[in-house]
Chains A and B, each alone.
Chain A
Amino acid sequence: MFVVAMTVIAAFAFQSAFAQAPAKTDAEKAAAKAKQEQIMQTRLQLLKDELKLDDAQFANFEPVYRDYRRALQKVVDNKAARVKKDELTNENALEVVLARLSNTIRTSTVKQTFLLKFSKVIEPVQIEKLYRVDDRIAKEARKIVQYRADAK
């Protein structure tokens, strides 16, 4: 009886020690998806104005851009690269640096791949501007990440 009780207690302790972060509820997932779509709509409008696309060009451009964004989301590694400076140790530093370098390489590869796809719907000068605007948005996101980290 004592052994059974100890086994049960040990099982609970084991489970709590290796407990995963609480899974997002369906409502949270839906809210996150809605937010991403809202940002996507604004990005598309911004790009339409920046690249001076007419309605016909924009209709061809939008699906390619959405594919491009999905491809980028697949390759960026959110978890391994996301380690704060004060959490870096000799054990995890190489892994973190490797993850960040991999992000850069994979992102560049996606951008290279989509050069040809974009060239079918917009001019080369517009592609350069597109990547520049996207880069600017990513840098602003980086500032927000830094600001939130400093605020904690």
Chain B
Amino acid sequence: MNEMKQMPYRVPDGFIEMSKIRNRAAVRRAATGRERLGKAVRWAVPAFATLAVAICAVIYFEPEHDRDMKRLMAQMETASDDVIYEMSLEVVDYAEDLSQL
């Protein structure tokens, strides 16, 4: 105690108390920040996981007719010239959108 009273500089009055108050406020702010970060992480992780599952589901459950069309295109690409040419002659061009008529 005598050593403290003999410090080379003068500690302002109330300095220790004010420091304690400020420290407690800083600890509270840090805790709030950690809480906010924790909440954000708790929300974001399931959200991204759901999004990833949804994307995988869309890719896996591709519409049947799209898969059939891809399979048909693959078969046509290996068909002979005669077969393909015959198929190409069936095109009848008409307006797909009736509002164009």
**A108 and B92 contact, Cβ closer than 8 Å, known pairs A78-B82, A144-B84, A148-B81:** yes
Q: Are A138 and B91 in contact (CB under 8 A)?
A: yes
In-complex Cβ contact of A35 among B63, B71, B80, B90 (8 A): B80
Cβ proximity bits A31-53 to B, threshold 8 Å, 1 near / 0 not:
01001101100110110011000
Complexed CA–CA distance, A42 and B78 (Å): 14
A135 and B91 contact, CB distance less than 8 A: yes
Contacting residues, chain B, for A131 (C-beta < 8 A): 92
The residue in chain A whose Cβ has the minimal distance to the Cβ of B78 is A35
Cα–Cα distance between A56 and B19 once the two chains are bound (Å):
85
Interface residue? B77 (CB, 8 A):
yes
* Cβ–Cβ < 8 Å partners of B85 in chain A: 78, 82, 141, 145
Q: Enumerate chain A interface residues (CB-CB to B < 8 A).
A: 32, 35-36, 38-39, 42-43, 45-46, 49-50, 72-73, 76-78, 81-82, 103-104, 107-108, 111, 131-132, 134-135, 137-142, 144-145, 148
A138 to B71, CA, bound (A): 15
Q: Tell me how many residue pairs across A and B have CB atoms closer than 8 Å.
A: 85
Given contacts A43-B72, A49-B68, contact A141 B92 (CB under 8 A): no
Q: How many residues of B contact A (CB 8 A)?
A: 27
Interface of A is mostly: helix
Q: Is B13 an interface residue (CB 8 A)?
A: no
Contacts of B64 in A (CB 8 A): 49
A44's nearest neighbour on chain B, judged by CB, is B68
A-B contact pairs, 8 of them (CB 8 A): A39-B72, A49-B68, A50-B65, A76-B90, A77-B89, A135-B92, A137-B72, A138-B89
- Are B83's CB and A46's CB within 8 A? no
CB-nearest residue of chain B to A50 = B65
Report yes or no: A140 in contact with B73, Cβ–Cβ below 8 A: yes
- Known contacts A46-B68, A46-B72, A76 near B89 by CB under 8 Å: yes
